[in-house]
Structure 1
């Protein structure tokens, strides 16, 4: 990084090569176009890592997560995703399987994920988004056809 200290644009390009696996996961999720300068990039990085000094969580943290009664799917998924991003190591396959374990067994999403487990975390996120869209459409009376089995 010191070699490119005068060229801020180049520093933005080189920055990811200095990151470890947890920080790289954070970096990969930065929304395109949301950061317009190296100063903003370092500020966002500092807010996430330097000031918090987060320690990677153990894998078994995911195993203890479960959706609480009355909790929304969005809230459960958001908490699950945040915890997953803090785990050190490549445990995507375990993370996908344990997400389903925390769902109520009578839920449509649990049934759908059990019948057709997603192959990766992005497929899981897509499946959850599709499930939320169908539920939103049903609650607004827009969709008559059900993609998932009824409760």
Structure 2
């Protein structure tokens, strides 16, 4: 459901993926789209004049114009460089902040992501030592290694 506060492009993309099997039936798509709207967006929809929209493209343009301020702005890659585990903070806290920031970067930068994650850990941290001795090559491997160390930290 689109609530007026989330990324409208992401919402429309998700809706289009769900409606792929009906891609030739634009009238159906236009009739179904309002069912994906929450209260705020539905109020906007209900306020549209009769016959003011003549296509799904026109509908999404009007929708986008109304909710443009909700578009997600991607973060620059260098925002990862400022990430570091805080004094007295847990690996889980750092990890949560790091993944949130990493996922806001639009391109595929696994190599930089791995390096910046490692650099954000204190030099004496066991996970940093492990990543230095046995580097990982992709984010899936990094996640596996982090999970190992997170479990150890949670058990202490």
Instruction: Say if 2:95 is the partner of 1:77.
Output: yes
SS at match of 1:67: coil
Aligned-partner Cα distance in 2 for 1:39–1:96 = 41
CA apart distance, 1:117: 1.4
Instruction: Say if 2:132 is the partner of 1:126.
Output: no
CA apart distance, 1:42: 7.0
- Larger helix fraction of residues: 2
Aligned to 1:12: 18
TM-score with structure 1 setting the length: 0.58
Q: Which has the higher contact order (CA 8 A, sep 6+)?
A: 2
CA apart distance, 1:91: 0.9
Give a deviation string over 1:12-70, Cα, whole Å, max 9, x none.
1639xxxxxxxxxxxxxxxxxxxxxx989776xx9xx9763221111100011111101
Larger Rg computed on CA atoms: 2
Where does structure 2 lack aligned partners over 5 or more consecutive residues? 1-14, 22-32, 42-66
Structure 1 segments of 4+ aligned residues over 4 angstroms from their partners: 38-43
- The CA RMSD measured in Å over matched residues stands at 3.0
Aligned-partner Cα distance in 2 for 1:117–1:124 = 9
Q: 1:123 to 1:41 in 2, by over 3 A?
A: farther
